[in-house]
Structure 1
Amino acid sequence: MTNVYSFDGMLVFGLLVICTCAYMRRVPRLKQWFLSEKKGLLGVFYKASVIGTRLHTPVSVICILMAFYVLLLK
């Protein structure tokens, strides 16, 4: 089990936020409701969705590498 306060946990949490926000950006109803704010606290989710959609290949490779690390090496 990963700990949120460790560096590994923060990386996993960040990757999950980026992947979730990128998925939510693809769903029209969720995009209008959740990702309409571009500034402030909710702007972080908008920026994560932009990162996830523009850099989808590196993010997916990092997710796969992190999954192997968490499952096999940790």
Structure 2
Amino acid sequence: MTNVYSLDGILVFGLLFVCTCAYLKKVPRINGWLLSEKRGVWGVFYKAAVIGTRLHIAVAISCLATSFYVLFLK
């Protein structure tokens, strides 16, 4: 189990957040409701979705590396 207050936990949380927002961007109803705001607190979801879609290869490689680290090395 990873702790949110450790560097491992922050990386896992960030990667899962970016991947989830990028996935939710593909759902039409949620895209219009959750990802319509581009500023403020709700803008974080939009920005994470943009990062996930534009850097999808880097995010996927980071997810694989993090999962390997958490499962086998930690």
Please classify the TM superposition score into its range, dividing by the shorter chain length. over 0.9
Shift of 1:12: 0.3
Shift of 1:34: 0.6
Shift of 1:68: 0.3
Aligned to 2:69: 69
Mapping of 1:10-29 within 5 angstroms? 10-29=10-29
Gaps spanning 5+ residues in structure 2: where? none
Q: Distance in 2 between matches of 1:29 and 1:55?
A: 23
What TM-score results when the alignment is normalised by the length of structure 1? 0.98
Gaps spanning 5+ residues in structure 1: where? none
What TM-score results when the alignment is normalised by the length of structure 2? 0.98
Percent of pairs identical after alignment?
A: 66
Q: Which secondary structure state, in structure 1, belongs to the residue aligned with residue 69 of structure 2?
A: helix
Is residue 41 from structure 1 mapped to residue 41 from structure 2 by the alignment? Answer: yes
Shift of 1:39: 0.4
Shift of 1:44: 0.7
Aligned to 2:6: 6
Q: Which amino acid aligns with 2:18?
A: I
Query: What is the root-mean-square deviation of aligned Cα atoms in Å?
Result: 0.4
Shift of 1:14: 0.3
Q: Distance in 1 between matches of 2:21 and 2:42?
A: 11
Mapping of 1:49-64 within 5 angstroms? 49-64=49-64
Residue deviations 1:11-62 (CA, integer Å, cap 9, x gap): 0000000000000001111101110110000101100000000000010000
